[in-house]
Structure 1
Amino acid sequence: MYIPYGRQSIDDEDIQAVIETLRSDFLTTGPKVEEFEQCVADYVGAKYAVAISNGTAALHAACFAAGIGEGDEVITTPITFAASANCALYCGGTPVFADIDPITYNIDPKDIKRKITKRTKAIVAVHYTGQPCDMDAIHAIAKEHNLLVIEDAAHALGADYNGRKIGSMSDMTTFSFHPVKHITTAEGGMIMTNNKELYEKLMLFRTHGITRNSELLSKDEGPWYYEQIDLGYNYRITDVQCALGISQMRKLDAFVAKRREIAKRYDQAFAENPNIVIPYQMEGCNNSYHLYVIQVNNVDRRTVFEGLRAAGIGVNVHYIPVYTFPYYREHGYEQVKCEQAEDFYERIISIPMYPDLSLEEQDYVIEQVNKLTVANNN
């Protein structure tokens, strides 16, 4: 038996949607792309959506549309996948790391304020594990300092903050549709915005900087005419992927509900274990639980981790603080230190969390986690 930490949930309806698109006239740049964009925009309550090749491309596009360039600083969290910081580097900007709140594990607004300089241009707020950041505080800081807010919501499709879906509130919000996320398009991503100017920049960036929009062309030579008006990338997503995404969106609420049920059972199972800290939930927020991350205290994390792997449980660690990677240390980050993030990293383990996790499998995970955290108590 092997139980992964996360996996996709694909059914016959999803497979049929892909087959029908494969038999259609359009495999890419066709109607399914716009249909998928509208589906997600309607769900989260955003005006515009731009489907893109993956979540990293979504962050890159967002930084481009935000005008990040040489000399600009972008504040983000170190407890995230590297793309949340790399996206600033792609545009010539400089990532600046603010520490995490030790209770929520999300970026700490107080440390964001401490890290702001005259060069700060944007904040990339990562909704770690699917728990929304303190967006009221972050938006207030952004307004005070005239900063753009980009939400990295790769973990947070289906989450809500004070009654609003994540994806509807900031200058831009990015999603990922990797197989372990809430819905999948195999690979894929999306950027949400309510700003038409940003939307137009994102659309250009996705397709080589090329447009046929008559309002943007310098001249009109005929219906065939197009122009490259900026330097963009080929970050398109296919109709095949979007067909899968549309089918998956029909099940999103059920997927999220199942994740919350699994999280509740974990909470109850570990509540009396003195060596485990379970995730805290912010009042007014509904976590969509991309991950379920425990902290282990008074035990050797590596022993527990390897014991779970040996028991057939595919645990992982999310994440190693980004600035500790060799690339970052070699490029000016050797003195950076976020104490809360580093302490958190030393104690965390991600345990299985996905909609198809059975009760029997979850009970086995619970049994093994409790056994190993007690048995290895120092």
Structure 2
Amino acid sequence: MSEDKLAIHGGAPVRGRYLPYGRQVIDEEDIKSVIKVLQSDFITTGPAIEQFEADIARFTGAKYAVAFSSGTAALHGACFAAGIGEGDEVITTPMTFAASANCVLYQGGQPVFVDIDPLTYNLDPTLIKQNITEKTKAIIPVHFTGQPAELDEIIKIAREKKLVVIEDAAHALGAKYKNRSIGSIGDMTMFSFHPVKHITTGEGGMITTNNEKFYEKLLQFRTHGITRNQGLLRKNDGPWYYEMQFLGFNYRITDIQVSLGISQLKKIDGFIEKRKQLAEFYTKELGPIEEIILPHQLSHVDSSWHLYVLRLQLSKLTAGRKEIFQALQKENIGVNVHYIPVYLHPYYESLGFQKGICPVAESCYEEFITLPLFAGMDHRDVMDVVDAVKKVISHYSNK
């Protein structure tokens, strides 16, 4: 779109400085926590790792937690622990980042994409059974935007078919499903600590589980398949002895990173409360706009509000999503789109996936715009977003 066409909204942008859709919130206590580790004896594979794992386990109510170098690495570890291998099928949603399906491919498995619920944008439980075959090994529901998927229905299906449930909770640290904390429900749950998430370690991820066997496999998988656990060793030549018992990966996170996470986790309640307040303000201010559909919140879940996603009513607008997206960026609002359905990426097309298999997800993708939402936003920031949305939608309304 030309600059001239973008300028037709008139006047200067609603804000003079670009507002990103998400970013980390770092304070002096976080910095001091990192410095403390840098001045200690261990900067990797040290005691801070176990502390962070214990803190996350306590926060989520899980028995065990295993830290990884990224959320993707954590998902890979979960797929390994679940026994996913060559030819196994894993059901998941296309409305997610590619890692939710890539982790299956890493193990030689086959992702099976099931369409989403048109209200919540989460995996539709009513479609899961139709896609289960004798090759199905697991289900990976994604808690899109921080709103938990319908876990009771998904887990019931999984138990009937003897499948493993791996929750992708990259968006959902601090969320609850029927008053139960996400991280303590499924067989394994992955959290991400990327800078746009609720808390950050720079890069990093975590798997929580209540299953001791999964826990032991995860610990070993992130360290080349090596163990020093005397109960697992096949022989023992002495106190120095360790064994590589399978082909694992170097997916360790550092003490430097988790020292930031330990400090950040102390502020998690405040971060989530701020996100909820911002989301409530968006809903109040944007609710009357007929040309957009606001996020639908279920009464039995408590979202942690990682994202605030608008769905455009294109039939009521004179422009497509691309034009509206660019117009909002011209207002210095860092909107984004979550997500391109995974199977539409060229790599997945090369594997034989074709457009049309999940029509609801594809339709949503064409209509979604993600608004800025992070704990560091102030009232002026959120007002700027609201003003820009009203300005742009009003201009393109066909009323």
Per-residue CA shift, 1:322-344, capped at 9, x if unaligned? Answer: 01111111111126510110111
CA distance in 2, matches of 1:158, 1:369: 28
Query: Number of residue pairs matched?
Result: 378
Q: 2:352 aligns to what SS in structure 1?
A: helix
Query: Which residue does 2:24 correspond to in 1?
Result: 8
SS in 1 for 2:250: coil
Which residue in 2 is equivalent to 1:374? 394
1:231 corresponds to 2:251: no
Distance 1:181 1:332 in 2: 32
Contact 1:74 1:94 in 2 (8 A): yes
Which residue of structure 1 lines up, in the alignment, with residue 226 of structure 2?
210
The structure 2 residue matched to 1:108, chosen from 102, 112, 124, is 124
AA in 2 matched with 1:127:
H
Among residues 287, 292, 305, which one is paired with 2:308 in the alignment?
292
Q: Is the 8 A contact 2:344 2:355 kept in 1?
A: no
Give me the whole-angstrom Cα distance separating, in 2, the residues matched to 1:366 and 1:155: 23
Q: Could you tell me which amino acid in structure 1 is paired with residue 37 of structure 2?
A: T
Q: Which of 66, 78, 83 is the equivalent residue of 2:94? A: 78
2-side partners of 1:269 and 1:219: how far apart? 66
In structure 2, C-alpha distance between the alignment counterparts of 1:52 and 1:71, rounded to whole Å: 26
1 CA distance for matches of 2:85 and 2:243? Answer: 24
TM-score normalised per structure 1: 0.99
Alignment of 1:279 onto 2:295:
yes
The letter of the residue matching 2:36 is E
1:189-200 equivalences under 5 Å are 189-200=205-216
AA aligned opposite 1:76:
T
The one of 316, 323, 335 aligned to 1:303: 323
Structure 1 segment 173-188 matched on structure 2, within 5 A: 173-188=189-204
Q: SS of the counterpart of 1:24? A: coil
**Corresponding residue to 2:376 among 347, 352, 356:** 356
Q: Residue 65 of structure 2: SS of its match in structure 1?
A: strand
Match of 1:316 in 2: 336
* Residues 323 and 336, structure 1, Cα contact 8 Å, conserved in 2: no
- Answering whether residue 284 of structure 2 is matched by residue 264 of structure 1, we say no
Q: 303-312 or 37-46: which moved more? A: 303-312
State whether structure 2 residue 142 is matched by structure 1 residue 126.
Answer: yes
The residue type equivalent to 1:326 in the other structure is P
Rounded Cα–Cα distance in structure 2 between residues aligned with 1:117 and 1:316: 36
Partner Cα distance (1:7, 1:311) in 2: 19
The SS at the match of 2:111 is: strand
- The separation in 1 between residues aligned to 2:72 and 2:263, in whole angstroms, is 23
Q: Which amino acid aligns with 2:332?
A: G
Q: Which residue of structure 1 aligns with residue 5 of structure 2?
A: none
SS in 2 for 1:4: coil
2:183 matched residue in structure 1:
167
1:216/1:98 Cα in 2 relative to 1: closer, same or farther (>3 Å)?
same
Q: Is the Cα–Cα contact under 8 Å of residues 185 and 245 in structure 1 kept in the other structure?
A: yes
Pick the aligned partner of 1:342 from 362, 368, 381: 362
The 2-side partners of 1:293 and 1:342 are apart by: 15
* TM-score normalised according to structure 2 size: 0.94
CA distance in 2, matches of 1:113, 1:334: 21
Structure 2 counterpart of 1:178, one-letter code: H
Listed one character per residue, the Cα deviations across residues 19-56 of structure 1 (whole Å, up to 9, x for unaligned) are 01000000000000000000000000000000000000
- Following the alignment from structure 1 to structure 2, what is the Cα–Cα distance between the partners of residues 27 and 256? 29
Q: CA 1:254–1:135 in 2, change beyond 3 Å: closer, same or farther?
A: same
Distance in structure 2 (CA, Å) of the matches to 1:353 and 1:45: 26
Counterpart-to-counterpart distance in 1, 2:203 and 2:102: 19
CA distance in 1, matches of 2:288, 2:356: 36
Structure 2 residue runs of 5 or longer lacking an equivalent are 1-16
Matched with 2:35 is 19
Letter in 1 for 2:176: D
Q: Which amino acid aligns with 2:312?
A: V
Tell me which amino acid in the other structure corresponds to 1:2. Answer: Y
Residue by residue over 1:182-233, the C-alpha shift from the partner in whole angstroms, topping out at 9 and shown as x without a partner, is 0000000000000000000000100000011101111111111111011100
Return the alpha-carbon distance in structure 1 between the equivalents of residues 302 and 325 of structure 2: 28
CA distance in 2, matches of 1:248, 1:58: 20
Distance, in Å, in 2 between the alignment partners of 1:354 and 1:73 is: 36
Q: Which runs of 4+ in 1 moved over 4 A?
A: none
Quote the offset at 1:111 in angstroms.
Answer: 1.0
Identity of aligned residues (%): 58
What's the C-alpha RMSD, in Å, of the aligned pairs?
Answer: 0.7
Q: Note if contact 1:303-1:376 (Cα within 8 Å) is conserved in structure 2.
A: no
Q: Report whether the alignment pairs 1:249 with 2:269.
A: no
Q: Which amino acid aligns with 1:303?
A: E
CA distance in 1, matches of 2:156, 2:191: 23
Q: Would you say the 8 A contact 1:296–1:373 is kept in 2?
A: no
Q: CA deviation at 1:321?
A: 0.5
- The one-letter code matched in structure 2 to 1:357 is M
Partner of 1:117: 133
